[in-house]
Amino acid sequence: MPRERTKFPGVWAKTLLVDAEGVYTAGDFVWRPAGSRNEAHTPNGGLMLAVFQVPNKFFGDDGPTDVLGQNWNAAWGNAANVGTVADDPLPG
């Protein structure tokens, strides 16, 4: 997959991630609503930094688990119910 010019002089981009909702290149911020499920792939492999508030939930015959095979609800259920910074009232 070729690199493409961007609107910034001297900066080129290459498509790294593809899913049913679009194509994402270096520097893109990809956000999905809570509870959504997504399958993405990199056509030629890739290195990404992904930040999650809680670990991914994997769905199998034994119910939801985390990457270590632990019961997701037991290990992370309370963390998933904590409000976000935007939900917190301003101090004072």
From first to last of its 92 residues, the chain has per-residue pLDDT tens of 577 777 777 777 766 678 878 888 777 887 777 777 777 777 777 666 666 777 878 888 888 888 888 898 898 888 766 555 455 444 44
Coil vs helix vs strand at 20:
coil
- The structure's pTM equals 0.41
Tell me the two tokens of residue 29: 């911020």
Q: In the prediction, which pLDDT does 92 show?
A: 45
What residue has token string 């194509």?
A: 23
* Residue in 46, 68, 40, 37 with CA at minimum distance from that of residue 55: 68
d(CA 56, CA 64) in angstroms, rounded, equals 10
CA 37 to CA 42: how far, in whole Å? 17
Domain boundaries along the sequence of the chain:
1-51, 56-85
